[in-house]
Structure 1
Amino acid sequence: MTQPLIRPDLVTSPAGPFLAAAELTQTEARSTSSHSHARGQLMGALSGLVSVGLDRQQWVVPAIHAIWIPPHYEHSVRSYGPFSGWSVFITEQRCEQLPREPRAIKTTPLLREAVRRVASWPGVELDDAQTRIAEVIVDELAASKEESLDLPRPDDARLVRLTDALVGDLSDNRRLDEWAVWAGLAPRTLSRRFVAETGMTFAQWRQQARLLRALELVADGMPVTTIALELGYDNVSAFIDMFRRAMGTTPGRYLAAEASTSSPAAYSAAPPA
């Protein structure tokens, strides 16, 4: 049974401090079923990877990133293997000036250090000095830029069947026209419906699905060659090129950065809150 990350009243009640935080490190997978709460939640990863189900979308939270979940949004959570991360809970009233829709962000050293400080507090009303640190978290979230770490799910039953098949075997390299025949759609209809329902072309959607799966496999420590083959790439170089274009670095450097970010030295290098 999954243990609560933080005292329930600091998640569901407007009473108490306007902002509370908790950190979590565990070796086993963690999973919570779909739920919502009155406070907004900012969920970040330091090492490993966690996925968040939001509406018809699946989001991933790789290291040094976070997902913002506004108040009352239904969501589910699942981690993959060893995981270290944190969550911040903000009262609904203080969320009025924050993003109204879920978003992924890249965290800053300042944000991570402020969260670490707040997570050490007992969950009672904040004094003036603590309030200033808590306000840093709110300001950093409000100023953050949105990152693309989600995978939209279509409504059309034929597209749902197709995307489920794609996710079930991302090494399947059939072209759009071949998938159209499989789904019983004209290629132009499939292409048009994909854009209308997901905001992405068929090729973009498949690449995004492969990227999110790659992040999961990298977090699990799978060799890059194995990941490339599992995702349908003809060679490792093609996979690394895709990963670099999307994440700004290679899988190996990404994993090294993740390890250094989650170490105590990374905290000491962060600017003081």
Structure 2
Amino acid sequence: MVTTGQFLSPTRQAEIQPFETAPRSIVGFACDYPSGLSSGFHSHPRAQLLYAIAGVMRVEAQGSSYVIPPTTALFLPADAQHSVSMEGPVAMRELFLREDAATQISGDPKVIAVSGLLREVIIAACAEPVEWEPHGRGYHLAELALDEIAKATPLPLSLPLPRDARLRRVVFALLDHPHDQKSLEEWGEVANASSRTLARVFRAETGLSFRQWRQQARLTKALSALTMGTHPAKAASIAGFDSVPAFGAAFRAFFGITPGQARLLYPGAGRKTRGAKR
């Protein structure tokens, strides 16, 4: 593991090292982390599937920010520089993939929906020894995990991040409080830059206008909440909408699914929403 920026303790590095070099196609790593912990930027020589059975992670990788609730996982290719921040206590259960296994998934970072089956497979894989029996339970779990990951539904839970330090003050404040109603002029005071400069640099570095980026940030936060079982009315409030129908229309236009359909990604939500108007 290669680290930059914030300090990652030698103990944690020593814990992870055997999983980065194991001769098996997939190995599971389990660790619980306290709220507020941030890994700092680092990379692993193997691809990984970042998942948590409890808690929400925010991951910054390759110029994008990802919000990862327990109903989703993030696939990262080998050597991808990334940092992980824990938004509340996190029970992480991740998979490290050998190069031949990773090539069956994808070459780019992506967020996937985690089915009930994949969740249980990940948990079971984490209970296997690092060098599981080549033709035993670990092998079958690894093959099933690969198949489930490859077939999983990708989710647009990423946001492009600017490099400009002034803009980063703005976007990280909005990621923490997406419903913030400050205008670009007001954010200019926070960033110590004119609104015209912010608007120009925003589009140049993210490909989006400030309004578009904020809307996407709000909708992404709402999608994350919905996949955790939040009611669409509450999700609309998170996204800064006073009208649930208006939120539903914007949500469907951006993600291609309704808030009700997104909520069905939450295990057991189908029973609550079956027959409900979506």
Give the TM-score taking structure 1 as reference length: 0.70
What amino acid maps onto 1:203 in structure 2? R
- The reply to whether residue 9 of structure 1 matches residue 17 of structure 2 is yes
Aligned sequence identity (%): 30
Correspondence 1:43-122 to 2 at 5 A = 43-122=50-129
- Aligned 8 A contact 1:224 1:236 in 2: yes
Question: Cα distance, 1:100 vs. partner?
Answer: 1.0
What amino acid maps onto 2:154 in structure 1? E
- Aligned 8 A contact 1:44 1:65 in 2: yes
Query: Partners in 1 of 2:89 and 2:267 — Cα distance?
Result: 12
Query: Partners in 1 of 2:215 and 2:140 — Cα distance?
Result: 42
For residue 267 of structure 1, what is the aligned residue in structure 2?
none
Correspondence 1:1-273 to 2 at 5 A = 4=12, 7-13=15-21, 15-25=22-32, 28-129=35-136, 130-155=138-163, 159-160=167-168, 163=171, 166-167=174-175, 170-173=178-181, 184=194, 190=199, 194=202, 197-213=205-221, 232-234=240-242, 248-249=258-259
User: Aligned pair in 2 of structure 1 residues 223, 25: CA closer, same or farther (>3 Å)?
Assistant: farther
User: Aligned pair in 2 of structure 1 residues 46, 239: CA closer, same or farther (>3 Å)?
Assistant: farther
- Aligned 8 A contact 2:185 2:194 in 1: no
- Aligned 8 A contact 1:5 1:22 in 2: no
Question: Cα distance, 1:186 vs. partner?
Answer: 5.2
For residue 5 of structure 2, what is the aligned residue in structure 1?
none
Q: Which runs of 5+ in 1 are unaligned?
A: 262-273
User: Aligned pair in 2 of structure 1 residues 160, 113: CA closer, same or farther (>3 Å)?
Assistant: closer
The C-alpha deviation readout for 1:235-254, integer Å capped at 9, x for no partner, is 7887788678868546xx95
What value does the CA root-mean-square deviation take over the aligned residues?
4.3
- Aligned 8 A contact 1:5 1:24 in 2: no
Question: Cα distance, 1:87 vs. partner?
Answer: 0.2
Question: Cα distance, 1:127 vs. partner?
Answer: 2.6
Query: Partners in 1 of 2:102 and 2:208 — Cα distance?
Result: 30
Q: Which runs of 5+ in 2 are unaligned?
A: 1-7, 270-278
- Aligned 8 A contact 1:11 1:37 in 2: no
- Aligned 8 A contact 1:10 1:89 in 2: no
Question: Cα distance, 1:136 vs. partner?
Answer: 1.5
Question: Cα distance, 1:164 vs. partner?
Answer: 5.3
Question: Cα distance, 1:89 vs. partner?
Answer: 0.4
Which structure has the higher relative contact order (CA within 8 Å, separation 6+)? 1
The C-alpha deviation readout for 1:79-112, integer Å capped at 9, x for no partner, is 1223333100011233233211111111122222
Query: Partners in 1 of 2:172 and 2:38 — Cα distance?
Result: 21
What amino acid maps onto 1:197 in structure 2? E
What amino acid maps onto 2:126 in structure 1? A
Secondary structure of the residue aligned to 1:136 is helix
- Aligned 8 A contact 2:226 2:259 in 1: no
Counting matched residue pairs gives 256
The C-alpha deviation readout for 1:52-79, integer Å capped at 9, x for no partner, is 1113221110121000011000111111
